[in-house]
Structure 1
Amino acid sequence: MARNREFNTEEVLDKAVELFWHKGYNGVSTQEMIDDFGISKSSMYGAFGDKKQWFIAALTRYQKRAIMEVQSSFQEYDNVKDMIQKILESTAENAMSDKNHKGCFIVNSAIELAPHDIQVATILRNHRDMLETILVEAITKGIEKKEFSKDKDPKVLSRLLCCTISGIEADSKFIEQTSYFESCIKTIMKVLD
């Protein structure tokens, strides 16, 4: 008879997110995972499998949370343009307040693994597609409400915003001047006018 799992999978998966986010896939050993998670090797392999499977589960968990957060932001906010500015500003503020400069787990994974790992690249492409879809819907709503000019292309603007968010997350790993990000956000908001 199989033994019952002696740990909370959700809590351990959250630890995996933090560990891989902080150190990257290649910076984490299997032994470090076992030590950090506080579980046995057999329990670790029994829950999700090897290190790669744990990484995929952690990345998927992180990206689902990120998408839900953006979706709920637009559902709670009536003014699309203000919400876009708030998302950009909070992205910069969160990145700047991180003293470890760990950036964004998605951006870090794209840089470290996507060029040579089809599975990771697919997850990240799907994430970008979902984010673009949310932004296209929001920008279209903003155009209908006359927050944006009707000659704006929602798809192009959504891609610009995705690139801006990724850029903020990547640059925050080595740029510490708040004014740098403020000027970028101000310029992007002018483009949206």
Structure 2
Amino acid sequence: MRSKDFDEEEILRKAIHIFWEKGYNATSIHDLIDGLGIGRSSIYHAFGDKHKLFVQALEFYQSEGTAKIRNTIDNAPSLKVAVETLLNGVINDVLQEACPKGCFKINSEVEVAAQDEIVRQLVYNDDLLIEDALYQAFKKAQQSGEIDAAKDPLALARFICNTISGMRVYAKFRSERAFFEDIAKTALSVIA
């Protein structure tokens, strides 16, 4: 069996960028061939087809993103610092000119998930992982007295997840730092 003549991780990163920029439906196999720098047969041999490549790219993107979120939550000195770091990270991400607008995961969720059970399940499961990491952090912060014990930690986790997702959706057509900073500031006031 012939070995691959490319780095699979590099190809997945390139595929993420292509799908992110154009969207799943607007991305053709020719866009992938040109953007990935590998032939059609290599794409089909390594990934199966456009949909399977998309799914693998989304899994890779989510894996890296969720690990980064968990790392932020686990290593912050307090819950407030963790949430502030997450929200500021979103602001910096969405305002980067080199970054396609929005978020690859959120864009995939909006464009593809409603018609594609595999993608729907992927983003749903990833959302649950992030929600649970925040929920556990909120519970711990309540036990330590950092936040009010009367607040619902699951509702707070869901609120922060939704705030982050909403900011990423707005990034498709908004680019004013003050707009996103207002959202982050208000979200932080809810958990204080």
- The bucket for the TM-score relative to the shorter chain is over 0.9
Q: Deviations over 1:55-93 (max 9, x none)?
A: 000000000111100111122212111110111112012
Rounded to whole Å, the distance in 2 between the matches of 1:34 and 1:46 is 13
Rounded to whole Å, the distance in 2 between the matches of 1:56 and 1:101 is 19
Cα deviation for residue 127 of structure 1 reads: 0.8
- Contact (CA 8 Å) 1:101, 1:172: kept in 2 or not? no
Structure 1: give runs of 5+ residues left out of the alignment. Answer: none
Rounded to whole Å, the distance in 1 between the matches of 2:91 and 2:113 is 24
Q: Per the alignment, do residues 154 and 24 of structure 1 end up closer, same or farther by CA in structure 2, a change over 3 Å counting?
A: same
Q: CA RMSD in A?
A: 1.3
Q: Deviations over 1:134-191 (max 9, x none)?
A: 0001111111221210011111001101110000001011112211111111111111
Cα deviation for residue 99 of structure 1 reads: 5.5
Q: Deviations over 1:37-64 (max 9, x none)?
A: 1112111111011000000000000001
- Written as runs of structure 1 = structure 2, the 5 A alignment for 1:38-187 is 38-98=37-97, 101-187=100-186
Rounded to whole Å, the distance in 1 between the matches of 2:84 and 2:2 is 50
Letter of the structure 1 residue corresponding to residue 84 of structure 2: Q
> How many residues of Structure 1 are paired with residues of Structure 2 in the alignment?
192
Rounded to whole Å, the distance in 1 between the matches of 2:139 and 2:176 is 33
Alignment partner, residue 188 of structure 1: 187
Rounded to whole Å, the distance in 2 between the matches of 1:176 and 1:38 is 32
Cα deviation for residue 97 of structure 1 reads: 2.2
Q: TM-score, normalised by structure 2?
A: 0.95
Q: TM-score, normalised by structure 1?
A: 0.95
Letter of the structure 2 residue corresponding to residue 133 of structure 1: D
Alignment partner, residue 24 of structure 2: 25
Letter of the structure 1 residue corresponding to residue 50 of structure 2: K
